[in-house]
Amino acid sequence: MKRTARAFWVTSPGRGEIRDVALGEPADGDVVVAGLYSGVSRGTESLVFRGGVPRSQYTVMRAPFQDGEFPGPVKYGYLAVGVVEEGPAELLGRTVFSLHPHQSRYVLPAGAVTPVPDSVPAARAVLAGTVETAVNALWDAAPMVGDRIAVVGAGMIGGSVAALLAQYPGLRVQLIDADPARAALASALGVDFALPEEALGGCDLAVHTSATEAGLVRSLELLAPEGTVLELSWYGDREVSLPLGEAFHSGRLIVRGSQVGRVAEARRSRRSYADRLALSLELLANPVFDALITGECAFEELPGAMTRIASGDLPGLCHRVVYNTARAGSA
């Protein structure tokens, strides 16, 4: 009998559905994972859902276990937590994280899953990929003791960056967002909050995550001379304008891109992708990260939830998807 599972597909821009999919037979060294939770990466997955991936970026933006092609039909996602049902003895029964799309059950090489530490609840582990992006960004930025730092954009990535920076000694960190309600998130993460027009200037570093032109411009405005904007936003097919006159040249300002697809150059010779992900999972033992999970739905409800997320009708941070396996385990 063929193994089957259920998976979420973007069928065409703005439309999604859950489909039956066939599972291949596991080979030696593979694992069969039953889904517990997955997370929606709002920025990137909304772009994918809306069909906003530029044709020039189709190859670059492929998820590791993506099926189909942009703009659709495509099975996309990369924040999956499940339990190993079949596989090597050392993984059997373990809760694992992988970069797999939203799916009820899946077959992967054993090397493509990372065990979730016992100190990290499975429901929180969906943030591993987001925290991994923040870890890579801070390897790129290399903040120093006493730095004045602005994190512009209090979304999943900005919140993760702020949560990590809150653990550094001697920093002045402000989380900046146009939504005053995000002050509660900053408080939960242990950093100060400011609206864009009230943010403190003279920053050595501004980490920009809002994916808006206004946010990037404000990040530049907040810099001290020879300061750096670390750009984590991805704009898809949108064009962005910057004021590169004014104080940009006289202040010797820097705009630098950072992206999780490669290990930051500062650590590339000494840390692998697996090392970076394992570190990110260890960091999730801190319960402060629960503040980044603000919504939840059953897997069967994901098509409707994605429509609302992509349109802005369902605001929030990480949206967690719950599979039958998780519900059965908690019953």
Q: What is the mean pLDDT of residues 39-57?
A: 92
Q: Which of 42-46, 56-60, 158-162 has the highest mean pLDDT?
A: 158-162
Q: Whole-number mean pLDDT of the chain? A: 94
Question: How many angstroms separate the CA atoms of 72 and 78, rounded?
Answer: 17
Residues 137 and 116 grouped into a single domain: no
Residue 233 burial (C-beta neighbours within 10 Å; 0-12, 13-18, 19+):
buried
User: Do 252 and 292 belong to one domain?
Assistant: no
Model confidence band, residue 289 (pLDDT cutoffs 50, 70, 90): very high
Domain count, the chain: 2
Angle at CA of residue 279, ends 278 and 283, nearest 5°: 120
pLDDT at 246: 78
Residues 325 and 248 in one domain: no
The answer on 245 and 142 residing in a single domain is: yes
81/141 same-domain check: no
Provide the residue range defining the domain that includes 192.
130-257
Q: pLDDT for 213-258, tens place per residue?
A: 999 999 999 999 999 999 999 887 788 888 888 788 889 999 999 9
B/e letters for 117-138, b = 16+ CB within 10 Å, e = fewer, are eeebebbbbbbbbbbbbbbbbb
Please report the pLDDT score of residue 258 as a whole number.
92
Please report, for residues 151, 154, 186, 266, the alpha-carbon distance to residue 192 in angstroms, rounded to integers and kept in the order given: 10, 12, 6, 28
Position 271 in a domain: no
For 160-190, what is each residue's pLDDT tens digit?
A: 999 999 999 999 999 999 999 999 999 999 9
Which domain CATH number covers 204? Answer: 3.40.50.720
**The length of the chain, given as a count of residues:** 331
The answer as to whether 240 is a domain residue is yes
Q: Which amino acid is at 125?
A: A
Q: Percentage of the chain with pLDDT > 70?
A: 98
Inside any domain, residue 75: yes
In one-letter notation, the amino acid at residue 212 is T
pLDDT of residue 329: 60
Phi-psi domain of 246 (left: phi exceeds 0; alpha: psi -120 through 50; beta: other): left
Predicted confidence (pLDDT) at residue 328 exceeds the cutoff of 90: no
Identify how many contiguous H helices and E strands the chain contains and give both numbers. Answer: 8, 17
So what's the pLDDT on residue 331? Answer: 40
